């Protein structure tokens, strides 16, 4: 059994990145219900992210989405992050909201549109240089709604060419993560639909290209932990976008829909040694809080990842390996379930006390008065959203 101190040490080192877009207003295609106290610019999004970090101790970086987080001076944004004890994390180009991208961005049949999209990817690498970010996080809404709409094969060729242009612009310590998604907004075919497609492109590109697994981007029933284990073993697991899904790309709080799946993923991570910072896996959230208040929802999400990780760290790996060697199916499964069924909340409360933070982060946030303060301070101006 791993001892308490080893488990706590690993948890203290954990680093979960929150997404800037989760702090802004968001909704469904039916309605966005606006909330009060929403940040009006990327600086205020960082202020809110600092609250999540202050109360959890393990969320020190924030991913940006460009142009949603476009600012005049990225050095100033980086300074603001640092003054709050944060870092700028992954830079996410957005090639899905300009009118030209109706038929796709880097896979578009029109070379001028492809050039525009590639220009945006390169601009995002400039932003990485200015903010010290080391991850270009790529997701493309490209795809087709109808058979025959465009050539599937030619689109793959255009994809390769565009990715190569961005890849060649990366600095020595920068990498690109290529996210896949099996449907939406395109419904017949997506140009990077699955991990295999992403993996193949990343292998072609080279060692600075890796796959990003968004837990909401699979068909129901997909064994995501298998994908995680496979990619990590080949050096091609770059990171995660954590969230929960019931039906589609629901972007609900991670661990809310299927905490057991999250545990199984973290078990593969822990048993492969991929939790260690040297493995360079980016643990990022990608969520939208459409009904619930955003800051406590992000705190809850960070805690959910932490709980799943703690349970994974508690797996008795020696007993598991012995049962597996002996072909003892029931014992092997019981070892895993024992860890999963452990209530890790007391251990995590103790860890937070060790770290000098409140053992109950959500209660501490509510007591802090921050929510009331931002509702008052941000009464005027335009709240940030997906526009």
Three-state DSSP class for residue 364: helix
Nearest distance from C-beta of residue 213 to Mn ion, angstroms: 9
Which C-beta is closer to ligand PSV: that of 69 or that of 179? Answer: 179
Nearer Cβ to Mn ion (23/365): 23
240 binds, among Mn ion, ligand PSV, none (CB under 5 to 8 A by kind): none
- The continuous run of DSSP H or E covering 79 comes out as helix 74-83
Residue 135's DSSP bridge partners are 175
Site string (284-323) toward ligand PSV, x via CB under 6 A: --x-------------------------------------
CB neighbourhood size of 286 (10 A): 28
With binding defined as CB under 6 A, does residue 249 bind ligand PSV? yes
Of residues 57 and 104, the one with the C-beta less far from ligand PSV: 104
Q: Does 69 bind ligand PSV (CB under 6 A)?
A: no
214 binding Mn ion? (CB under 5 A): yes
Nearer to Mn ion, 55 or 181 (CB): 181
CB of 265 to Mn ion, least distance (A): 15
> Residue 239, SS3?
strand
Phi-psi region of 85 (alpha: psi -120 to 50; beta: other; left: phi over 0): left
Residue 42 three-state SS: helix
- Which of 294, 329, 333, 330 has the alpha carbon at shortest distance from 316? 333
Residues 6+ apart with CB under 8 A from 188: 143, 144, 145, 146, 147, 149
- Is 284 or 315 the residue whose CB approaches Mn ion more closely? 284
Supply the minimum distance, in Å, between the C-beta of residue 223 and ligand PSV: 20
Distance, CA of 239 to CA of 228 (rounded, Å): 9
The CA distance from 28 to 380, in Å, is: 24
Among 26, 61, 92, 105, binds ligand PSV (CB under 6 A): 92
Smallest gap, in angstroms, from Cβ of residue 251 to ligand PSV? 7
Peptide bond just before 67 cis, omega within 30 deg: yes
- Tokens read off for 173: 């310590």
Helices first, then strands: H and E counts in the chain: 14, 10
Query: Interface with ligand PSV includes 240 (CB under 6 A)?
Result: no
Nearer to ligand PSV, 47 or 214 (CB): 214
What part of residues 227-286 is at the interface with Mn ion (CB under 5 A)? 241, 286
Determine, following the binding rule CB under 6 A, whether residue 74 of this chain makes contact with ligand PSV. Answer: no
Residues interacting with Mn ion, by CB under 5 A?
Answer: 214, 241, 286
Residues interacting with ligand PSV, by CB under 6 A?
Answer: 21, 92, 139, 179, 181, 214, 241, 249, 286
């Amino acid at each position: 059994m791993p001892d308490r101190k080893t488990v706590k040490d690993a948890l203290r080192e954990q680093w979960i990145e929150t997404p800037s877009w989760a702090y802004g207003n968001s909704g469904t295609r039916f309605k966005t219900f606006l909330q009060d106290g929403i940040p009006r610019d990327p600086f205020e999004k960082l202020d809110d992210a600092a609250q999540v970090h202050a109360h959890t101790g393990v969320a020190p970086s924030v991913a940006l989405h460009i142009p949603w987080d476009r600012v005049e001076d990225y050095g100033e944004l980086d300074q603001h992050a640092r003054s709050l004890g944060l870092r700028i994390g992954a830079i996410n180009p957005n090639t899905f909201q300009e009118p030209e991208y109706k038929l796709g961005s880097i896979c578009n049949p029109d070379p001028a549109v492809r050039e525009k999209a590639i220009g945006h990817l390169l601009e995002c690498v400039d932003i990485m240089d200015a903010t010290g970010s080391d991850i270009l996080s790529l997701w493309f809404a490209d795809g087709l709604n109808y058979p025959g709409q465009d050539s599937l094969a030619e689109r793959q060729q255009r994809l390769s060419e565009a990715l190569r242009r961005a890849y060649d612009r990366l600095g020595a310590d920068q990498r690109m993560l290529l996210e896949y998604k099996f449907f939406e907004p395109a419904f017949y075919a997506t140009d990077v639909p699955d991990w295999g497609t992403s993996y193949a492109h990343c292998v072609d590109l080279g060692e600075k290209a890796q796959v990003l697994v968004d837990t909401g981007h699979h068909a129901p029933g997909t064994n995501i932990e298998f994908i995680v284990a496979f990619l990590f073993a080949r050096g091609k697991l770059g990171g995660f976008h954590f969230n929960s899904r019931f039906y589609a790309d629901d972007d609900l709080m991670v661990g809310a829909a299927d905490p057991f799946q999250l545990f199984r993923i973290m078990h593969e991570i822990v048993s492969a040694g991929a939790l260690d910072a040297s493995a360079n896996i980016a643990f990022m959230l990608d969520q939208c809080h459409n009904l619930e208040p955003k800051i406590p929802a992000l705190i809850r999400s960070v805690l959910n990842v932490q709980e799943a990780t703690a349970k994974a760290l508690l797996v008795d790996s020696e007993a598991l390996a012995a049962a597996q060697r002996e072909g003892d199916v029931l014992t092997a499964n019981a070892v895993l379930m024992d860890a999963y069924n452990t209530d890790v909340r007391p251990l995590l409360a103790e860890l937070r006390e060790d770290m000098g933070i409140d053992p109950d982060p959500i209660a501490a946030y509510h007591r802090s008065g921050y929510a009331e303060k931002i509702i008052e301070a941000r009464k005027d101006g335009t709240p940030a959203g997906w526009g």
